[in-house]
Amino acid sequence: MFDDNKQALPISGNAIVGQSGGPTAAINATLSGVIKGLRKCENIKRVYGMKNGIEGLINGNVVDLASAVTTEEDYYALECTPAAALGSCRKKLPSDLNDPIYPKIFEIFRQYDIRYVLYIGGNDSMDTASKLSAYAKEANYEIYVMGVPKTIDNDLVVTDHTPGFGSAIKYIATTVEEIARDCSIYAVQAVTIVEIMGRDAGWLAAGAALPRLSGQACADLVYVAETEFDFDEFIEDVKKELEKKPNVVIAVSEGIKTKDGKYVGESEQSGSVDIFGHKYLAGAARVLESCIRAKIGCKCRSIEMSLPQRCAGHCLSKTDIEESVLVGASCAKHVAAGNSGDFAFFIRDNNADGSYSVSVGFCPVSRIANQIKRIPAEYINERGNNVTDELLHYLQPLILGEVQIPMKNGLPVHFTID
């Protein structure tokens, strides 16, 4: 019987997958989904990995994944391993498509007969995918490029949320709940300030309020990057909290700014920037700690949550890991069907029974590159010192479920690709 829907498969060839940008606890789950998905596609022969993203590729650092990831146990261990198993980079490709870097990259694609490229990354990495796709259209070489989302920051537009974000806020909420419990045991007045990642958006800091929904200890005040930070109001807020109980816990985004647009973090003064032109930040919490010592005079401690926020593989959200595998597999199928220049995103299903589920949609990667999704104003309270319950209800499904990770001698077993 003739199948009307059967379309000719695009060119048969090899695929390559790369990881880029900051690591997350779920980026390898997406890698697992990509590899698994690609292996189901008839027109994909071999699956390669670029070591250290596009930068490694330019240096010819390519691995054949055929022997690296083989069994179901391999896939599972990879899904439970934080950070980027293929390594990462922070390289930004030039805007000028006439730059000699592009023929160099495509020469390597030719060398390995690469016809499908999947690039897993955040905002800056989507820019890379977008440029590769644009250059491919100009070059006389049939290739399909796909941007696969990951970022703990949850700041990509179009998508309901980003893979990796759920595990990050599960860890942040859990840790802030524990810190609040720890701080509650003394009768002496004390303020604890927890600094959470988030340069431009406060999604991660909002996670510090999540235990509130379950009646657990959590941050009493939450200052997200979206609000205009005012030192006088801050001191008023803290004093008010100290009237209620001796121990106050405060969560702040690293990127909180005052009315004049200046970062509260001290190191803004140094003027140093990272490779993407972002200002290098450190110490919003330290500045506020000094402020409280000076203006209130009580005991004060600041805690920078630092790297564990993005690599705490021992505290994964099952929902996040499952979705991260799903988006990887969906992208594999999508690119192998001959789509190029696209980006995958989550749509939150509108289920009649109110239950939570997501579907995967696709749009041109150029629609999302170099844009930032911030917390909408209605999710922040009027005073600007906390997030609303509505936001927490929106976040809660993303942290549900725990993952039993492989353990040996009392410690996690991480999967490596050499």
Residues in contact with a second copy by CB under 8 A are 19, 23, 52, 55-56, 81-84, 87-90, 170, 173-175, 177-179, 181-187, 192, 210-211, 213-214, 216-217, 301, 303-304, 306-308, 310-315, 317, 396, 399-402, 407-414
Three-state SS string across 110-161, please? HHCCEEEEEEEECHHHHHHHHHHHHHHHHCCCCCEEEEEECCCCCCCCCCCC
CB of 245 to a second copy, least distance (A): 12
Contact between 28 and 62 under an 8 Å Cβ cutoff? The reply is no
CB of 67 to a second copy, least distance (A): 19
Q: How far apart are CA 62 and CA 15, in angstroms?
A: 11
CB of 236 to a second copy, least distance (A): 26
Contact between 119 and 369 under an 8 Å Cβ cutoff? The reply is no
CB of 232 to a second copy, least distance (A): 27
Angle at 378 between CA 264 and CA 154, to 5 degrees: 65
- Residues 6 or more apart whose Cβ sits within 8 Å of residue 268: 262, 279, 281
Q: Which is nearer to a second copy, 315 or 368 (CB)?
A: 315
Q: Which is nearer to a second copy, 368 or 392 (CB)?
A: 392
Buried b (16+ CB within 10 A) or exposed e, 199-235: bbbbbbbbbbbbbbeeeebbbbbbbbbbbebeeeebb
Q: Which is nearer to a second copy, 183 or 291 (CB)?
A: 183
Contact between 325 and 78 under an 8 Å Cβ cutoff? The reply is no
Q: Which is nearer to a second copy, 311 or 375 (CB)?
A: 311
Q: Which is nearer to a second copy, 99 or 182 (CB)?
A: 182
Round to the nearest angstrom and report the end-to-end CA distance of the chain: 47
Q: Is 153 a catalytic residue?
A: yes
Q: How far apart are CA 269 and CA 271, in angstroms?
A: 5
Length of the chain: 418
Sign of CA dihedral 207, 209, 213, 214: positive
Taking residue 400's Cβ as centre, other Cβ atoms within 10 Å add up to 13
CB of 133 to a second copy, least distance (A): 24
CB of 369 to a second copy, least distance (A): 22
Q: Which is nearer to a second copy, 91 or 257 (CB)?
A: 91
**SS3 label, residue 27:** helix
In the set 124, 127, 153, 155, the catalytic residue is 153
Q: How far apart are CA 138 and CA 81, in angstroms?
A: 38
Instruction: Give the count of alpha carbons within 13 A of 213, CB side only.
Output: 19
Question: Of 43, 46, 45, 47, which Cα lies nearest the Cα of 10?
Answer: 43
Q: Which is nearer to a second copy, 314 or 374 (CB)?
A: 314
CB of 18 to a second copy, least distance (A): 12
Active site residues: 153
